[in-house]
Amino acid sequence: MASNNRVLVPEAKEALNKFKLESAKEVGTPLTDGYNGNLTSRQNGSVGGQMVKKIVQQYENNISNK
């Protein structure tokens, strides 16, 4: 299966990386800028889950402030 992890807006790539590293720090996952193949699926999943959680919270805050 081919991976399609390309950033649609290249200017956002740095912000997405920063967001990912912040989320990893919040859940205690030792994510680095380089190779992270030593991390488990559970650790990587917790980072993605934290990112989604923060996005949903931001969306809910935006809706409630309107």
Asked whether residue 50 is domain-assigned, the answer is yes
Query: In the chain, how many domains are there?
Result: 1
Distance from C-alpha of 59 to C-alpha of 10, rounded to nearest angstrom: 23
* The pair of three-digit structure tokens given for residue 13, joined into one six-digit string: 């790539």
Q: Which two tokens stand for residue 62?
A: 């935006």
Which residue range forms the structural domain that includes residue 58? 42-66
Residue at 47 is within a domain: yes
Query: Is 22 part of a structural domain of the chain?
Result: no
In a domain, 66, yes or no: yes
Say if 49 falls within a structural domain.
yes
Please state the pTM of the whole predicted model: 0.78
At how many degrees (to 10) do helices 13-27 and 41-64 cross? 110
Fill in the DSSP letter of residue 35. -
pLDDT tens readout for residues 29-65? 999 888 999 999 999 999 999 999 999 999 999 998 8
